[in-house]
Structure 1
Amino acid sequence: MTRADRAGGDSDPVDDATLALLIEVAGTPKPGNVDRRRDLEGLRFESFLGGAVGAREGLELAANDEASVGDAFERAVAGMADRAGTNTQFGCLLLLVPLLRATVAGGDASAGDLGPDAVDRVTRDTTVADAVAFYRAFERVDVAVADPPADATGLDVRRGSDAAPTLRDRGLTLRDVLALSAAPDDPDRVPDRNAREWVEGFPRTFRAAEWIRTDEGPLTDRAARAFLGLLAAEPDTLVAATHGPETAREASARAAALLDGADGVGSGAAGVGGIGADAVHGADLDAAEGLATAFVDEGINPGTTADLTCAALYVALRRGAEVAP
């Protein structure tokens, strides 16, 4: 019986989440990101392997509905940081934890209805305590984030535990906090794509999962093509935070040029719904090697796009994607 026949039913969701972390970093080329052929300064491929292993205890908590989402995330980040020695997969874990919880929300992982509605219920059920745990996680590693709006300095995630009184006074849940990043007041500011997943029902994740599931060839190649599709669709949050919105939009346009027949895509504003599976499946990975070299040389690191790719891999694995030929 193939995994497609099982449709994820006989596999452990924590195993699938760990595998998604491993396949994401092994996929190549993912322009600007660490992969099995490229390291970045101070960030090596094996660090991501260690981070995936270290995060497992937190992922197991996420699959246990007796633990809170915030505690599971904080534990996953702590384990990642301890084993990798740095921040490797903070954003991946922020997406994987609610996806894992949604998988087992019905009390039976084999029967879990892993879809937008289930994940939306998980994020809506988060609490102020989850938000406090999320802020504590920032004390474990350095995470590149944009400065908060002038009227929200008290909620700057870089304050860590010091923000807890503000969170409690305002009664802000974890979903509330992420909603602030998902819809910035400045129209020129690139929204936090991971935060938008949390408040919109993970549309990018589920769309890219179908790109991966219906593609052919090794999962690492499918992941690389999905990465290009996600980057082409919308500007990357990390690139915008480190280089500015215009550079982020230009990076998306450069990725779109590698998609097959992606006419009209390239402004970095098409959204995942504006890119078809055929365009993603036809992405030129050979040409992407040149873009990968260029992005590394220019210091352009679409890390948020890698996070979304990891989340999509998890959903694709749960829906029957297979690592075996």
Structure 2
Amino acid sequence: MKERTLANRAEQAQMAMMLEVCAYPKPGNVDRCHDYSDTRLEHFLASTILVRPVFETAERTGGRVGSLIREAVMLTNSHAGGNTHFGAFILLIPLILGGDIEGARRVVAGTDVQDAIDFYAAFGLTQVRVAKSDDLDVNDPESIAAIRERGMTLADIMAYSAPRDMVAREWTNGFALTRQCADLLHAHGHGREAIVRTFLDLLASVPDTFIAKKHGAEAAERTMRCAGEVLRGGRDLRAFDAECINGGINPGSIADITIAGIYVALGEGWQWDC
């Protein structure tokens, strides 16, 4: 197998986004074999292309995490497919700024109140589901005042959200699932099959919080159990995929973490083309 390396971290991040959405079958999510009625494969691929200037800025000149996330959302909102990669941006931008997981941890620790405010502005541009119990409502101007009054950094915002959101939890646990995902990719070999197997491993190990917000905790737990059955050979993968699609069950948070894991693995020499 010929070894292929990527030119820079921006390209590496774009490749991670592209590889994740094109891998199939990933139960419940958009891929090359099926779309949603309002969001299609080409919307995800368009986001991968449109966000390049933000990734290049993060790599070449750095910048504030919050404003970079906001700019990424603004650039990728130009298509009609809605939010496609908000969670991925939350993970990828610190990784690009920091260079690797250790660097991303330092970036997270260095965030401030302005990062939190910029992040809330980005959040308000999306249609991301939030838990009904959240008292910091992105649609309420008083939330920004509360952030300022409390002196909350973006790291504080993520810690506040972490019990209910596994992407935010990556900021508080040192990108633990991202690291696990990269390790699984290395263990499973190369290419599309490794991504699908890694996605299933993650889905079987932890309830997806996007599913929980949309359908409830029991649906997320049931999806996790079903993924485990697939891995043990007790359930057909394509049948499980069809069940998820028909039920509107999409593990969006696992997809975001998979993108981050692919990014890390690519930086460590993992080969996508074999």
TM-score normalised according to structure 2 size: 0.93
AA partner of residue 145 (structure 1): V
- 8 Å CA contact retained: 1:231, 1:305: yes
| Counterpart position of 2:254 | 305
Q: 1:165 to 1:24 in 2, by over 3 A?
A: same
User: Partners in 1 of 2:78 and 2:133 — Cα distance?
Assistant: 28
Equivalent in 83, 103, 118 of residue 133 of structure 1: 118
SS at match of 1:233: coil
Q: Secondary structure at the match of 1:157?
A: coil
Q: 1:290 aligns with which of 236, 239, 264?
A: 239
Tell me the TM-score normalised to structure 1 length: 0.79
User: Helix, strand or coil: the match of 1:138?
Assistant: helix
Match of 1:156 in 2: 137
* RMSD after superposition: 2.0
Provide the C-alpha distance between the structure 1 equivalents of 2:132 and 2:91, rounded to a whole number of angstroms: 22
Structure 2 residue aligned with 1:201: 174
Matched, 1:59 2:39: no
Percent sequence identity over aligned pairs: 36
Choose from 141, 155, 158 the match for 1:175.
155
Q: Is it true that 1:42 corresponds to 2:27 in the alignment?
A: no
Check conservation: 2:62, 2:97, Cα contact below 8 A. no
Letter in 1 for 2:89: L
- Deviation string 1:149-202 (CA, Å, 9 cap, x unpaired) is 4xxx2x12343x65322111110000101101113xxxxxxx311111001100
Residues 1:221 and 2:170 are matched in the alignment? no
- Alpha-carbon contact 1:57-1:75 (below 8 Å) kept: no
For residues 1-325 of structure 1, what are the structure 2 equivalents within 5 Å?
3=3, 11-83=7-79, 85-103=81-99, 114-115=100-101, 117-149=102-134, 153=135, 155-159=136-140, 163-183=143-163, 191-218=164-191, 220-260=192-232, 287-325=236-274
The gaps in structure 1 that reach 5 residues or longer are 104-113, 184-190, 261-282
How many Å separate the matches in 1 of 2:211 and 2:115? Answer: 27
Is this contact kept in 1: 2:186–2:265, CA < 8 A?
A: yes
Q: Distance in 2 between matches of 1:2 and 1:15?
A: 19
State the Cα deviation string for residues 60-96 of structure 1 (Å, max 9, x = none): 2322454111111111111111145411111111111
CA distance in 1, matches of 2:221, 2:108: 29
Change (3 A) 1:52 1:87: same
**Structure 2: how far apart are the matches of 1:96 and 1:3?**
24
CA distance in 1, matches of 2:80, 2:51: 10
CA contact (8 A) 2:23 2:195 kept: yes
1:62 aligned counterpart, secondary structure:
helix
Give, as a single letter, the amino acid of the residue that structure 2 aligns with 1:202.
F
Measure how far apart 1:226 and its partner are: 1.1
CA distance in 2, matches of 1:35, 1:259: 20
Which SS does the other structure have where 1:322 is aligned? coil
Equivalent pairs counted in the alignment come to 274
Aligned amino acid, residue 287 of structure 1: D
Q: Deviations over 1:240-293 (max 9, x none)?
A: 001110111011000011124xxxxxxxxxxxxxxxxxxxxxx89x92111110
Cα pair 2:124 2:138 within 8 Å, conserved: no
